[in-house]
């Protein structure tokens, strides 16, 4: 019964979205306020209905209602509660339901926070958003219905893929989806602006917080996914250039470009048509990402929830929306003329360079990801494009980006000079050189990667600090607290990027690896540590059997940690997994993986020391935090506050 | 006592694991004595794709065929093959699908050159835009449109 409620709510939401995509649009064209204003309650009602629908599916999972086919296929009574809940989106149908729930959430958010938008723009934004949502409602209802019942419900389910039974799954997809889908707002704003035929500073100011929020969520989602891969997949890699990772990375790069180009529109009324194009492409790449993940067209380690048939439908949705938006763009873009005048060496120029680097690097990832598909379809060659290609083709753009970033971000608007902008950065240059010398001294005889990578990262971090100091001018450091939050957000994000750069360079160059047969109670060295395998015991989990090794880690005789890596077998799907055990540290992780027992009675053990591992995700979190700080900047709060004040004052006229 | 427990455990695990027979990524018995050759072998196996898994290289993969390939790579290195010869040998057997680094030949040049080409084109377009902006005149007609004036009035009246 509850599943049917969910099903009904989903269908009603679909109907409502069809209403919302047409009536307000017509109202905006004709100037009928009643029709335009109907978008708001429709968007809110859609969110209510989707909450009911998603809630119904969650109840089915939690209560293990195996008469619902999706629950039977992806759950099991013995599964812990948290994975029953996260299992709702650990499959194709459920993840799509989450996707549309978030689409409805953003639609409702735009309806609530869009008070200060001109009524026609608001109506059009909500109508475009509803059309995207309608397409996905239709997709779910007609091809991927999560509420199908089974005629003869079995006693128990088939369980969730064990790799997905991890807290990582509980948080990684929702954040990623908030990011992907958040970009639909930028898309809706772009298409609405094209229909309106005007893009100005105010438009950029409205669209930027949505993009910023989407980018923050994407950053967190990608960082969580990378961390999950690091500890779960058992060999401690953090980025594999896998098609599905690339699918989330491309929109991230384009969203980052969009954030920066929207600043130019907002402050200088230039780059308008480029910003519109970026907004369309950023969401287009989100859809491409969904297509890649859901269709399984490109082989990926993530292929746990895909179906080529349904992939075609997503492709059709993609072609319709991106194609339609681009056509509209081709017709309307010439109307948008730039106003600002500026020299090539200026903040505007630097932001254009930023956009060139980010957009081209996104396309490099795109070409590399799609190349196997293209080569097979056009030339019949079955080939692979993997990390060696991406590392060589993508990295140069990031190196240039890091080199110019501190300079560009300190440069004045309109007209600047390299020499004058370098002056406040002298301290940062000296400190960067010191870091490079330190890294060189510590890593003599090894690759230049560590020195260059850490140098670039340090340059970003110190550059961000130098810029903050520079902004305080002569009035002393006390002014730091009074700087606009946008300045703080910018500095924190840029420093976070630097920290991630440092971490990636050092973990790649300095990692220590050891593969051996460990005998019980026989210590062996791993870098500066000494490891001893004490025992391997059988442990029974709720839905798995595990062989758990107990290893003691000491340094100079002092105990550091006791680690318990496991080899698990999930009994329902009879699938083995490895659970690495990690001693997290500020400067290094000790990472142990248990392998098979050897004929001589010893156990295969792989050990790693991964320097600065946590800095990768620490840097990412700082980037996201910077975005959040920037979101609370006064210019967004003032706009929201003004609307609130106006309502509070009611009929009393302003003085 | 401990030995007996371990024995029972090993048996239980062997039974439980038998259908999938997982082997861990690089095994201790595969590692070569010669550290130089071993590090070359590791580098090579990170460039070779496991033919049966989903997007893993043979260095990380648990599939039995990846173990065979890792051992084969090491045998060839010990026999004195160069890195390219080893990669070519494996690719001859399994097709270029196993090469994670696509060969720079034929149509693949397009792939390899795409990054610098796109970079250059984008730089040229951006530079022309910037020069255009530097030479443009500030827009003279910056007066408000009728709709903007009405909106401004609304804001000034406070609603």
DSSP state of A155: S
Indicate the average pLDDT of chain A: 87
> What residues of chain A lie within 8 A of the CB of B20, using their CB?
574-576
Residue A5 or residue B55, greater confidence: A5
Q: B-contacting residues of A 437-466, CB under 8 Å?
A: none
Q: Is the pLDDT of residue A445 over 80?
A: no
Greatest Cα pair distance in chain A = 90
| Poorest-pLDDT segment among A233-242, A297-306, A352-361, B59-68 | A297-306
Give the pLDDT confidence score for residue A582 in this predicted structure.
92
> What residues of chain A lie within 8 A of the CB of B139, using their CB?
337, 339
For chain B, list the domains and their CATH numbers.
22-98 (1.10.8.640), 114-157 (no CATH)
DSSP state of B49: B
Q: B83 in contact with A at a CB cutoff of 8 Å?
A: no
CA distance A110 to A211: 12
Distance between terminal CA atoms of chain A? Answer: 58
A375, A515, A547: residue with CB nearest B9: A547
Tens of pLDDT, residues A14-23 = 999 999 999 9
Phi-psi region of A620 (alpha: psi -120 to 50; beta: other; left: phi over 0): alpha
Closest CA to A174 of A226, A137, A114, A221: A221
Tens of pLDDT, residues A616-643 = 999 999 999 999 999 988 777 655 545 4
A348, A360, A515: residue with CB nearest B26: A515
DSSP state of A499: H
Q: Would the CB atoms of A359 and B122 count as touching at under 8 Å?
A: yes
Closest CA to A187 of A88, A277, A318, A297: A277
Tens of pLDDT, residues A586-606 = 999 999 999 888 888 889 898
- List the single residue in A with minimal CA-CA distance to B128: A344
DSSP state of A271: S
- List the single residue in A with minimal CA-CA distance to B153: A654
> What is the reported pTM?
0.89
- List the single residue in A with minimal CA-CA distance to B56: A301
CA distance B72 to B50: 13
CA distance A593 to A346: 52
The 8 Å CB, 24+ separation contacts for A647-655 are A647/A115, A649/B158, A653/B157, A653/B158, A654/B156, A654/B157, A654/B158
Residue with tokens 């003329």: A337
Closest CA to A169 of A246, A293, A69, A85: A85
CA distance A190 to A135: 18
CA distance B115 to B156: 52
Q: Is the pLDDT of residue B57 over 60?
A: yes
Tens of pLDDT, residues A189-198 = 999 999 988 8
Count the residues in chain B: 159
Residue A228 or residue A303, greater confidence: A228
Confidence of residue A244 (pLDDT cuts 50, 70, 90): confident
CB A122 within 8 A of CB A39: yes
Closest CA to A254 of A287, A280, A282: A282
> What residues of chain B lie within 8 A of the CB of A597, using their CB?
6, 10, 13
Q: Which CATH class is domain A1-159?
A: mainly alpha
CB A295 within 8 A of CB A200: no
In chain A, where the domains are located: 1-159, 512-613
Q: How many CB pairs under 8 A join A and B?
A: 180
CA distance A540 to B2: 18
Cα separation values, A146 from A10, A58, A68, B143, Å? 10, 11, 8, 55
Residue A651 or residue B151, greater confidence: B151
Percent of chain A residues past pLDDT 70, beyond the cut: 93
3-state SS class at A578 = strand
Q: B-contacting residues of A 174-203, CB under 8 Å?
A: none
Q: Is the pLDDT of residue A360 over 90?
A: yes
Residue A421 exposure: Cα atoms within 13 Å on the Cβ side: 19
**What sign does the CA torsion over A386, A389, A393, A394 have?**
positive
Q: What is the mean pLDDT of residues A165-186?
A: 87
Closest CA to B87 of B55, B49, B33, B37: B49
Q: Is the pLDDT of residue A164 over 50?
A: yes
Give the pLDDT confidence score for residue A650 in this predicted structure.
45
Q: What is the CATH number of domain A512-613?
A: 2.60.98
């Amino acid at each position: 019964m509850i599943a049917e409620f969910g099903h009904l709510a989903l269908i009603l939401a679909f109907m409502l979205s069809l209403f919302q995509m047409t009536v307000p649009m017509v109202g905006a064209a004709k100037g009928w306020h009643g029709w335009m204003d109907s978008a708001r309650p429709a968007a809110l009602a859609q969110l209510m209905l989707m909450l009911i629908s998603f809630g119904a599916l969650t109840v089915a999972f939690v209560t293990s209602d195996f008469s619902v086919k999706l629950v039977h296929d992806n759950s099991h009574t013995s599964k812990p509660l948290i994975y029953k809940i996260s299992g709702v989106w650990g499959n194709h149908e459920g993840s799509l339901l989450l996707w549309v729930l978030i689409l409805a959430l953003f639609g409702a958010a735009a309806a609530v926070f869009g008070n200060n938008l001109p009524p026609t723009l608001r109506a059009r934004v909500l109508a475009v958003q509803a059309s995207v949502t309608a397409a996905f409602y239709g997709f779910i209802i007609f091809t991927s219905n999560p509420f199908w019942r089974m005629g003869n419900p079995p006693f128990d389910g088939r369980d969730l893929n064990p790799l997905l039974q991890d807290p990582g799954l509980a948080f990684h997809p929702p954040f990623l989806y908030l990011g992907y889908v958040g970009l639909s707002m930028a898309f809706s704003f772009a298409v609405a602006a094209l229909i309106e035929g005007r893009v100005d500073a105010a438009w950029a100011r409205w669209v930027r917080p949505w993009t910023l929020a989407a980018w923050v969520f994407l950053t967190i989602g990608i960082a969580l996914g990378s961390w999950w891969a690091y500890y779960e997949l058992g060999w401690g890699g953090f980025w594999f250039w896998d098609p599905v990772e690339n699918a989330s990375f491309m929109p991230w790069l384009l969203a980052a470009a969009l954030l920066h180009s929207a600043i130019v529109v907002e402050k200088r009324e230039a780059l308008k048509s480029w910003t519109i194009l970026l907004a369309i492409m950023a969401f287009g790449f989100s859809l491409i990402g969904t297509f890649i993940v859901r269709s399984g067209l490109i082989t990926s380690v993530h292929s746990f929830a895909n179906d080529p048939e349904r992939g075609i439908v997503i492709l059709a949705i993609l072609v319709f929306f991106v194609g339609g938006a681009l056509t509209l763009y081709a017709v309307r873009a010439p109307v948008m003329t730039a106003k600002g005048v500026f020299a090539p060496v200026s903040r505007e120029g630097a932001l254009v360079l930023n956009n060139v680097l980010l957009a081209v690097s996104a396309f490099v990832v795109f070409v590399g990801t799609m190349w196997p598909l293209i080569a097979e379809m056009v030339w019949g060659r079955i080939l692979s494009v993997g990390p060696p290609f991406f590392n060589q083709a993508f990295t140069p753009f990031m190196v240039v980006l890091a080199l110019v970033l501190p300079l560009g971000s300190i440069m004045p608007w309109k007209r600047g000079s390299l020499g004058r902008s370098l002056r406040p950065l002298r301290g940062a240059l000296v400190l960067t050189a010191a870091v490079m010398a330190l890294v060189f001294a510590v890593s003599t005889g090894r690759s230049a990667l560590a020195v260059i990578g850490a140098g670039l990262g340090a340059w970003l971090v110190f550059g961000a600090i130098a810029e903050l100091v520079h902004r305080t001018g002569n009035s002393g450091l006390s002014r730091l607290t009074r700087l606009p939050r946008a300045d703080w957000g910018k500095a924190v994000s840029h420093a976070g990027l630097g920290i991630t750069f440092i971490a990636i360079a050092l973990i790649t160059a300095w990692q220590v690896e050891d593969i051996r047969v460990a005998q019980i109670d026989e210590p062996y060295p791993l870098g500066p540590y000494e490891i001893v395998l004490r025992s391997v015991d059988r442990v029974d989990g709720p839905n798995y059997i595990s062989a758990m090794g107990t290893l003691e880690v000491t340094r100079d005789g002092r105990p550091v940690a006791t680690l318990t890596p496991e080899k698990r077998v999930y009994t329902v799907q009879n699938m083995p997994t490895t659970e690495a055990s990690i001693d997290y540290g500020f400067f290094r992780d000790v990472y142990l993986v248990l392998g098979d027992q050897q004929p001589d009675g010893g156990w295969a053990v792989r050990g790693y020391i991964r320097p600065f591992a946590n800095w990768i995700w620490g840097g990412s979190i700082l980037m996201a935090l910077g975005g959040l700080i920037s979101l609370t900047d006064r210019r967004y709060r003032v706009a929201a506050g003004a609307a609130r004040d106006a309502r509070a004052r009611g009929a009393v006229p302003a003085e | 006592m401990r030995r007996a427990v371990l024995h029972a455990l090993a048996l239980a695990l062997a039974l439980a694991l038998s259908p999938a027979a997982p082997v861990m990524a690089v095994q201790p018995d595969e590692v070569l004595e010669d550290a130089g050759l071993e590090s070359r072998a590791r580098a090579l196996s990170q460039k070779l794709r496991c033919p049966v898994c989903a997007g893993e290289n043979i260095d990380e993969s648990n599939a039995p065929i990846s173990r065979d390939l890792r051992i084969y790579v090491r045998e060839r290195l010990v026999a004195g093959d160069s890195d390219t010869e080893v990669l070519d040998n494996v690719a001859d057997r399994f097709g270029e699908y196993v090469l994670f680094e696509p060969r720079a030949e034929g149509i693949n040049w397009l792939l390899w050159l795409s990054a610098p080409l796109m970079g250059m084109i984008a730089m040229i377009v951006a530079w022309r835009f910037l020069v255009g902006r530097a030479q443009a005149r500030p827009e003279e007609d910056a007066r408000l449109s009728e709709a903007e004036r009405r909106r401004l009035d609304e804001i000034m009246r406070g609603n």
